Amino acid sequence: MQIAPPGLKGLAVADTMLGSVRGQEGFFHYRQYDAAELARTRSLEDVWTLQIQGALPPEVPSLRPARLRILPEAVIELLDECARWVADPTIALRIGMLALGDHEGRGPLLDRSAEQIHGDAMRLAAVVPTILARHYRLRQGLQPVEPDPDIGHAADYFRMVTGVPAAAPAERAVEQYLVATLDHGFNASTFTSRVVASTGADMAGSLVAAVGALSGPLHGGAPSRSMQMIDEIGDPSAAAAWTRDRLDAGEKIMGFGHAVYRAEDPRGVVLREAAERIGGDLVGRAAGIEQEILAVLAQWRPDQRIVTNVEYWAGVVLELVGLPREMFTPTFSVSRSIGWAAHVIEQHGEGKIMRPSARYVGPAPSLGRGDAK
């Protein structure tokens, strides 16, 4: 039996044409395109088309998810009732996606045609912002905002959460965030979606499993924690001492360090640029705090290069545009659900269940009816 390294680090478990991360270079790509450049120059719908259809517009017609954001009345009734007793928006998202999949008869992948599976992928990813925004507003005692099929996905998400249209710089910043985080190699949630898809399960089940993985703070929960850290530090002059105290206590510094990147995280670069275009005092403070923390981390681990990861500047951008902090992690699922859906489609095409082994390290088992030997 071959023994995989802890966390499967460095182990390739599948082939993919959807993209990859080259951490030593600080580079990642969607199919054959530089993903950071796509975030700078393309719309979310364009990149959505690339990952599902395999090419960018105008080579193929652009996907139009706008009308797919509208929920059926039966699912709305369930979500509205759910908002009375479920506080966590990612739990509401899981309930809503499963309910929609069941209500619309989106059965196991094994029983669906390729065209139906693509339809399932589009429909379920499209409703993510609608479910999240509706749940948030109901929990705040606000009237839900219905989707507008005449505007883009990023703009409509912002409008449904906040109740007001986004100004152009904020809308573009949200869209860049969504493009930059749409996919990122075989991360924990993407791998989870593919494991479930390999069983022939339905699209909703595969995506909901991925949301469960995303709910862990070590995966998608750092943007709000990074902002809490910036608030706690306050002035950049206090950052070095604050960081040393946390390191001495054995705590993690949220927004810094990455499992793959040893060069600067290109997603963070894109989002820093987006933050600088919006401007304001927070941007200057965040940049100063970042420099101080990186300097301390370089002294703490001189043999490693610990870099700023995407969550640090993602938190700043989402704060600047006015999204509530409790929606930072859920917002990540708005984009990543598109990437998960593309991976589910690809994994289903493999036609083989993922079934690794485990190495038993417990007490010796009994042999038959006698004692262990």
Task: Indicate which residue of 311, 319, 343, 348 is catalytic.
Answer: 311
Give the side-chain half-sphere CA count within 13 A for 81. Answer: 9
311 part of the active site: yes
Identify the three-state secondary structure at position 289: helix
Q: Establish whether the linkage from the previous residue to 58 is cis, with ω within 30° of 0.
A: yes
d(CA 98, CA 81): 15
Give the side-chain half-sphere CA count within 13 A for 316. Answer: 31
Q: Dihedrals φ, ψ of 279, to 5°?
A: 80, 180
Task: Indicate which residue of 153, 258, 343, 348 is catalytic.
Answer: 258
- Give the long-range contacts of residues 228-237, CB within 8 A, separation 24 or more: 229/253, 229/254, 229/255, 230/282, 230/285, 230/286, 230/289, 230/315, 230/316, 233/289, 234/285, 235/285, 236/285, 236/288, 236/289, 236/291, 236/292, 237/292
Residues marked active site are found at: 258, 311
